[in-house]
Amino acid sequence: MTPFQRARSDEQRLVRRQNILRTAAEMLAEMPVSALSLNELSRRVGLAKSNVLRYFESREAVLLDLLEESAREFLDEVGEPLRAQVDPSATLDARTVAVASGAAAAFAARPMLCELLSAQAGVLEHNISVDVATRYKQGARDSLLGFAALLRHLFPELDRPRSEQGANLVIVMIGGLWTHCHPAPAVRAVYDADPSFAFMDTKFEDALRGSLCVLLAGLVTGPAPLT
């Protein structure tokens, strides 16, 4: 363990926070959220747990910061390519398929983001203070509003309430599908042993693409959202 040296400046504190976040991201490439412990994170960062807690109040606070950062990067990286691959003069059905396919592929290429979204409400938003929850929700709100604006660009038929409802539902959908498409070992063994369960054993990208097609079509042509 490297002897702890207090960060003396805002820049040094930022560097240390970013190192903690980067290490957590590396761990999530190896393990699910449920297996990531503050003890192991501290060991890999090279600090005592008490010193990591100087920068983040809990494991959940670390992962919420990582989720906010990942969501912001997703929007920055995916928005323009998605606009480029959708022909605004195409039929509604064609645009729906194009957007659903592009968005599903983009999310599937970012497993850490999907893993964090799957744990957001049930795990990560617990064991945190009101201050951390407020800061996280402010960032999440900005990302959702940005995603809603992207949906309105791709589907001019959508008004703001429908696009915001859609952005929220996409995030909920991803969290649920990611969990169900990555079953526990015992459930995986059941699926592999009995072909009658094949319809329940869906690949994440395929399941998300199909679900997005249904959601997007419903948002554009269905009744106005309840308020």
User: Do 152 and 164 belong to one domain?
Assistant: yes
Q: Do residues 129 and 82 share a domain?
A: yes
User: Quick count: other Cβ atoms within 10 Å of Cβ 147?
Assistant: 23
Residue-level pLDDT at 2: 46
Q: What is the pLDDT along the chain (227 residues), one digit of tens a residue?
A: 444 455 566 787 899 999 999 999 999 999 999 999 999 999 999 999 999 999 999 999 999 999 999 999 999 999 999 999 999 899 999 999 999 999 999 999 999 999 999 999 999 999 999 999 999 999 999 999 999 999 999 999 999 999 999 999 999 999 999 999 999 999 999 999 999 999 999 999 999 999 999 999 999 987 766 55
Same domain, 33 and 68: no
Q: Are residues 37 and 114 in the same domain?
A: no
**8 Å CB contact between 67 and 150:** no
Residue pair 109/217 in contact (Cβ under 8 Å)? The answer is no
Q: Is residue 73 part of a domain?
A: yes
Per DSSP, the residues of 46-96 read: TS-HHHHTTT-SSHHHHHHHHHHHHHHHHHHHHHHHHHHHS-TTS-HHHHH
Rounded CA separation 117/123 (Å): 10
Same domain? 128 vs 36? no
Residue ranges making up the domain that contains 205: 58-221
Please check whether residue 181 lies inside any domain of the structure: yes
Shared domain for 51 and 72, answered yes or no, is: no
128 with 150, same domain: the answer is yes
Q: Are residues 51 and 64 in the same domain?
A: no
Residue 170, class by beta-carbon neighbours within 10 Å (0-12 exposed, 13-18 middle, 19+ buried)?
buried
Are 72 and 51 part of one and the same domain?
A: no
Task: Tell me the two tokens of residue 23.
Answer: 């290490």
The reply to whether 11 and 103 lie within a common domain is: no
Q: Are 224 and 182 in contact (CB under 8 A)?
A: no
> What's the CA gap between 24 and 29, in Å, rounded?
9
31 in the same domain as 65: no
Per-residue confidence (pLDDT) for residue 223, from 0 to 100: 72
The residue type found at 170 is V
State how many domains the chain has. 2
* pLDDT reported for residue 3: 47
CA 147-143-138 angle, to 5 degrees, is: 145
Same domain? 49 vs 110? no
Distance CA 68, CA 101 (A): 24
Q: What whole-number distance in Å separates Cα of residue 54 and Cα of residue 4?
A: 11
pTM of the complete model: 0.89
Cα 62 from chain centroid? Answer: 14
- Residue 167 in any domain: the answer is yes
Residue finishing a domain among 32, 56, 80: 56
User: Which are the contacts of 151, defined by CB distance < 8 A and separation ≥ 6?
Assistant: 158, 163, 166, 167, 219
